[in-house]
Every structure is written in C-alpha cells, then in structure tokens.
Amino acid sequence: MKTKIFLDSGDPAETKQAIELLGDLDGQTTNPSLIAKNPDTVGKKFSSKELFDFYRKVVGEVSSLIPQGSVSIEVYADENTKAEDMLSHAREFNLWIPNAHIKFPTTGEGLKAAEACIKEGIKVNMTLIFSQEQAAAVYAATIGAKKGDVFVSPFIGRLDDRGENGMDLIANILKMYESGDGHVEVLSASIRSLEHTIKTFELGSDIITAPLKAYREWVGAGKPIISDKLQVTSDKLKQIPYEQIALTKPWQEYNIKHELTDKGIEKFASDWNSLIE
C-alpha cells in the first residue's frame, strides 16, 4: 500500500495500542489540542516551562516507540506570533528527537519560518491547509527540500463540517503536485469517518494521520482500501472544483488566507493556553 500510516495522538499509550492493532506505524502527529487531551494533563495547570517539558517527554516516548518513523511537533502560534518566534521554537523542538517534523500553520509567518527551516535542514509539516493555493505556496516556499522533508496537512473533516467535500481537496492537491518535483508529501488529516480513511487510501495520499478510534473501525471493517461497497455520505457535500495553479511562482504571490486556518490557529492556541496557570 502506497499510503504511510500515522497516528494522530498526544498520548504514547495510544501509540502502543496502535502498533499492537496495526502491527506497525510509520509516524505520529501531535498538536496542542492533542496534548491538552493527554490523560496526564486533564484538569491540571502548568507553568510554560513545565508544559514544554511535558510535551518533550511525550514526543520522546513516541519517538522511542517508532524510531524509524516521523513525529510531528507543533510550534505555539497565535494570530500575532512572528516567524522569528516560531523558528526559535522549531530549532529547540528539532533537538528533542532525531525524527522530528516541525509543524507550522500555513500563514505568511509560518511559511517564512518553514522556508528558513528547510535551509537549515529541519523537516517541516505545514498544517491547517484548506485550499490548493495554500498547498502551492508550501511547495514554492520549500523548493530544494528532499522528498520526505516536507508534509502538507489538508484538514478533511473541518471542510466537511461546513458542507464541503474535504476529500476533493486531497484529490486536487495530489493532482496539482503531479507537475512538481515530488518534494512535498500530502498528509491527509482531520479524519472523521471510515469513508475518509478508505478514500484516503483509494486516492493514494502519501500519508494518512487518524485517531486510534478510526483505525479500530477500519480494522473492524477488514482494512479495505477501495470504496466499492462503502455507503457514501460525501455525495451530500458540495464539491470543491480543481483549480489550474502553477507551482512556479514565489510563495508570497499565492492567496493563502483562509478563515478555517485562522479558526484552527485560535483553537490550538486556546487549548495550549488552557493548560498554563
């Protein structure tokens, strides 16, 4: 199967369960909201240093369980965070484990930080992707990177939530990247259903990241990778048409603004700040 399987979780106990369920894992994605759901943080407050130390402990445990895989660590970012601050965190996080991808929001400041990281040899995962133009900007900002060093993470479920077919975005980005050099991998995120899981495999997304619950449902269904007999619900959603977008422009020339990216940043920052005393 072409698609690599990542777990979306901030809990190493779930990493162990996923490995037992699936036999192996190719990686894991984490973010502030997932750390806030970790059983060891629920109902507790931390100083900023204590919280970063806890995050480091979590990704260290995950890394030891999947040493040949990738572990995504997300920088703190709110609407006012500058690229220099993100880059400072990225350099620190990259030292925590040997198999890190540093997650940045797909904003102007996030892309500046990612561009600098690629030049420094730091692997990146650009998150909160909701449009082809955002994916095109990531491609342009990270030119020169090796395959496997850059992920784009389109959020399927959050598009579905507002009546758009998030799977269309995955298909559109994969098609757009066919004309490129292959240095960016598509990581399908915000998996909400068995249909999402199966369609991600069927489309040939480079990577899928999903919660443990989704993989249990997939295994229970017999681990299908084509949707012939699937009860399709996405037919009720508005299609996202493919756009002809060249990958050759400077990243600053793409329209990367998206309201769901802004809302996602706000949510991640709120969840992180809720843990700080």
Calpha distance 246→176 (Å, rounded):
8
Joined together, the tokens standing for residue 207 give: 């990577």
On whether the CB atoms of residues 73 and 55 are closer than 8 A, the answer is yes
- Picking from 59, 19, 23, the residue whose alpha carbon sits closest to that of residue 38 is 59
213 is catalytic: no
On whether the CB atoms of residues 205 and 174 are closer than 8 A, the answer is yes
- Angle at which helix 108-120 crosses helix 83-93, to 10 degrees, equals 40
DSSP string, 146-203: PTTSEEEEEBHHHHHHTTB-HHHHHHHHHHHHTTS-S-EEEEEB---SHHHHHHHHHH
Catalytic choice (2, 49, 82, 103): 103
Calpha distance 73→244 (Å, rounded):
32
On whether the CB atoms of residues 185 and 148 are closer than 8 A, the answer is yes
| Burial group, residue 33, by CB count within 10 angstroms (0-12, 13-18, 19+) | middle
**CA 110 centroid distance within chain:** 14
**Catalytically active residues, by annotation:** 103
